[in-house]
Amino acid sequence: MAPKTDLQTKVVSEPIDPIELNAWKRGFTPQAEIWNGRLAMLGLSIGMATLLIVRMFNSAA
C-alpha cells in the first residue's frame, strides 16, 4: 500500500448534527442530495403503486 500523503492525513470527517442533515438547503449540498433521494424514492413508490392499481383494475374487467 502507498504511504499516506499530507492531504490524506489531514482529512478528518466531523459528525454532522441530524437537524443540519434534514435542513432544506438549495444547491449541491449533502442535505440537497438526501432530500433528492427521499423525493425520488417517494416518486418511484407512487408510480409503482399507481401502475399496480391500474393493472389490477384492468385485468379484472
Q: Output the CA–CA distances (angstroms, integers) from residue 23 to 14, 27, 38, in the order listed.
A: 17, 12, 13
Domain boundaries, the chain: 18-60
Mean pLDDT, contiguous 10-residue spans, the chain (61 residues): 64 74 75 90 98 90 63
Residue 8 is predicted with a pLDDT of 60
**How many beta carbons lie within 10 A of that of residue 32, not counting itself?**
14
